[in-house]
Amino acid sequence: MSNSTGRLIVVSGASGSGKTTLCDRLERDYNCEYVVTATTRAPRKGEVNGVDYNFYEPDEFERRERAGEFLEHAIVHGNYYGTPRKSVESALARGATLILEIDTQGAAQIRNSKIKHTNLFIDIPDMATLEQRLRGRKTDAEETIAQRIARAHSEIAEGANYDFRVVNDDLERAVFEIAIKLSLTKKK
């Protein structure tokens, strides 16, 4: 895949690292666009199809995957997630700076491909903060929270494979550090 004009930034972090909020802020304040990815998990309260995710039934996801529609895909917490190849390619072709927020398995697939990109890992200050954030979200069941905490340990270890790491201890500070590290330009 040629992406000579645009720029692809892959962002991962432990569940509860606040990476979605960070990416939203980057999109709001800097010249970059968020990639809407696909999932088979149920929408959370307030999530909109086509805005937060493209929500598919598992058979539809599998059909699209077989048709080669995803740049990468993975199973996360028992659901499929995948990056739509077409929307990434067309945005890069028109010169966009893209923020692709995906899990560490997906990021590894992109790292092992020929796709030119930079990757960034969002760290949490400590495990107690992660637990607090997951519970504070009040969207996930206790079993899901426990699953996410267990997974966070292995996700954090994966951070060593990324070009950049930023600790999300304070939203404003972390956004600023990311913008500097990735040379993002402020929106006018």
Tokens encoding 24: 């939203």
| H runs (alpha helix) in 11-141 | 19-29, 58-66, 85-93, 104-111, 127-136
Site string for ligand 5GP, 23-62 (x = CB under 6 A): --------------x---x---------------------
Q: Does residue 81 bind ligand 5GP (CB under 6 A)?
A: yes
* Axis-axis angle for helices 142-158, 104-111 (nearest 10): 30
What is the nearest approach in angstroms of ligand 5GP to the Cβ of residue 188?
Answer: 29
Rounded distance between C-alpha atoms, residue 47 and residue 186, angstroms: 27
Among 82, 120, 159, 166, binds ligand 5GP (CB under 6 A): 82
Tokens encoding 136: 């504070």
Tokens encoding 153: 């340990």
Residue closer to ligand 5GP (CB basis): 4 or 78:
78
Asked if 177 contacts 184 with a C-beta cutoff of 8 angstroms, the reply is no
Residue closer to ligand 5GP (CB basis): 30 or 55:
55
Tokens encoding 176: 């600023």
Q: Does residue 105 bind ligand 5GP (CB under 6 A)?
A: yes
C-alpha dist (Å) from residue 130 to 48, 74, 162, 165, 181:
25, 23, 20, 17, 24
Q: Does residue 102 bind ligand 5GP (CB under 6 A)?
A: yes
* Beta strand pairing call for 7-13 and 38-39: unpaired
What is the nearest approach in angstroms of ligand 5GP to the Cβ of residue 81?
Answer: 4
Site string for ligand 5GP, 121-160 (x = CB under 6 A): ----------------------------------------
Among 106, 130, 145, 184, binds ligand 5GP (CB under 6 A): 106
Which residues are near ligand 5GP by CB under 6 A? Answer: 15, 37, 41, 72, 74, 76, 81-83, 101-103, 105-106
